[in-house]
Amino acid sequence: MTKKSDKLDNEEQQILDDFEKGELKRIAKFKSEKEALEQGATSTLQKDRRINIRISSRDLERIQMKAAREGMPYQTYISSSLHKLVTGRLKEKV
């Protein structure tokens, strides 16, 4: 339980509420999962090439909306999506 002097933002309060309700679950094999995520983040962050592409305004607006929902800049969202696609973690819809 938190003290009255503790100030939590909405996200922190939601996490605390979920914890107190028992809705959070321990990650099995946490260390290996953490290492895999760190490795993915490191390789994604190593950007050494620049490209320019043209896309429709409509597609860009949709990308920007999805990025906003994910809480990240749209260019980061595009880069992340492309990375997932080429590494096989994002499947194309046919």
Listing DSSP states for 17-47 in one string gives: HHHHHT---PPTTHHHHHHHHHHHHHHHH--
User: Is residue 23 a part of any domain in this protein?
Assistant: no
The closest alpha carbon to 87, from 51, 36, 50, 29, belongs to 36
As for how many domains the chain has, the answer is 1
Whether residue 47 is predicted with pLDDT greater than 80 in this model: the reply is no
Cα separation, 84 vs 12, whole angstroms: 28
Whether residue 3 is predicted with pLDDT greater than 80 in this model: the reply is no
User: Is residue 37 a part of any domain in this protein?
Assistant: no
Domain of residue 70 covers 56-94
User: Is residue 79 a part of any domain in this protein?
Assistant: yes
pLDDT cut 70: percent of the chain above it: 90
Query: Which of 21-25, 41-45, 53-57 has the lowest average pLDDT?
Result: 41-45
